Amino acid sequence: MLSWFRRKKKSQTDEEILADAFVGVKEGLERKQRVRKRLYRRLWPEWLDRRVVIGILVVLGAIIADGVRREDQEFHAAVTKVYGAVWVQSSEASAVKVAQVGQSLGDRNVLTTGPQSSVVLDFPDGSVITVGPGSRFVIKLLEYSRGGRWRERAFFLQVGQIWARVSPYFGAKSEMRVYTPSSIAAVRGTTFYVSQDRQGVVSQIQCADGYVAAAGFRGRPQYLSANTGASVSVGQAPQKPRVLTQAQRRPFTQEDLLKPIPPELWLKTFELTVTQLLDAPLSILGIGKSSWAVGAADFARRTTALEALRLLHQHLEGSPTYPEFVNPATIEQLGIPPKESLRILSVFNAGALELYRQVSGGRGFIVFARARDNKRTLYKLTPSGPQKATEDELQAAW
């Protein structure tokens, strides 16, 4: 009856349908935005401004970046003083260049000093080494572990003399080793001296303070206390310690060994603590030279150490007799070509073997070596092949 009041609905054009669709989409987006804003207000406190968060992230990024920079410095020694004629090589086979103050030295670099010449090397923790006249000094390895916070420094004094002071901030689990053609000096926090004659036969190891483990390629090490020293002949056990004379103590009064070591900056300690806490993500991303994800992960470093021991096993078994002693830093007594020796030793901690011993009256041998992983895993090699070893086994072999 009232149908005449009803108006026939006008059909929409394509443009109107499209316009209505856009309106619907817009309304849907606005509803979602309102929901997100309500959720954002619940999760994000009103007092916490975005600019504050961005500022915090920028500061954290700067702290991490500077911490990584400080870590990278651990892999280098700085030339701080040069007296007379001093030359440097990037490796033993590379060109010789004049050493410059401010120069940064790293693994496999070689320093040579002329007569009445010397050079001073400084390290980030405050340690210092003076290379004396007529010396040839090789940096074997400078290692730093972010996660473990230990340092490993190994040097080879082919000829000449060095004086060194190890900083108290070096680290309780850290160790510095100086190898020569006839001896090994292992130290932590102490001041010491090592010399090697030109014939490669006798070395002198002296301790001014602290303790030094003086070892030969045979016998047990001698532990030197303050103001004592011992000589070591090639292939022999070190002699018993003797008290230093006044003339022997005098060089330890040189300025570079006596200058005060300032305490580490709180900023450095804080930054390295942050990078240590973030070791896992930084390692995964390969950030920083001390990251174990750079070059090889822990398991890969252990694998390469085992492969090097197998290669060493082949050389030993291929020899008509086992050598009576072996210099752990060069393994030259095994008759392996120098390049191959370097390749084998480079995968071991300190770039050297821990120990070689001839056993069973010359019919056998035992070798100990550590991988360059974070735990410095210990392995042993016998005629049966390589396997993991314990610290007790290593001590018993001495």
Longest CA–CA separation in the chain, Å: 132
Of 363 and 130, the one with more pLDDT:
130
pTM score, whole prediction: 0.85
Min mean pLDDT across 211-225, 265-279, 371-385 is at 265-279
| Type of residue at 287 | I
The answer to whether residue 6 scores a pLDDT higher than 60 is no
Over residues 256-276, the pLDDT tens digits come to 999 999 888 899 989 988 988
Rounded Cα gap, residues 89 and 92, in angstroms: 6
Domains of the chain, residue spans: 76-244, 295-397
Q: Which of 367, 388, 246 is nearest to 311 (CA)?
A: 367
* CB-CB contact of 367 with 353 (8 Å): yes
Task: Provide φ and ψ at 7, rounded to 5°.
Answer: -105, 135
Residues in the chain, how many? 398
**Is residue 78 packed enough to be buried (19+ CB in 10 Å), middle (13-18) or exposed (0-12)?**
middle
Rounded Cα gap, residues 224 and 205, in angstroms: 9
Of 52 and 212, the one with more pLDDT:
212
Of 294 and 231, the one with more pLDDT:
231
* CB-CB contact of 166 with 190 (8 Å): yes
Q: Can you give the pLDDT at residue 285?
A: 79
Q: Is CATH 3.10.180.10 correct for 76-244?
A: no
Min mean pLDDT across 7-11, 64-68, 156-160, 193-197 is at 7-11
Confidence of residue 374 (pLDDT cuts 50, 70, 90): confident
Of 163 and 24, the one with more pLDDT:
163
Min mean pLDDT across 38-42, 96-100, 386-390 is at 38-42
| Type of residue at 158 | Q
The answer to whether residue 106 scores a pLDDT higher than 90 is yes
* CB-CB contact of 185 with 214 (8 Å): yes
**Average pLDDT rounded to a whole number, residues 162-173:** 92
Over residues 319-358, the pLDDT tens digits come to 888 999 999 999 999 999 999 999 999 999 999 999 999 9
Q: Can you give the pLDDT at residue 296?
A: 47
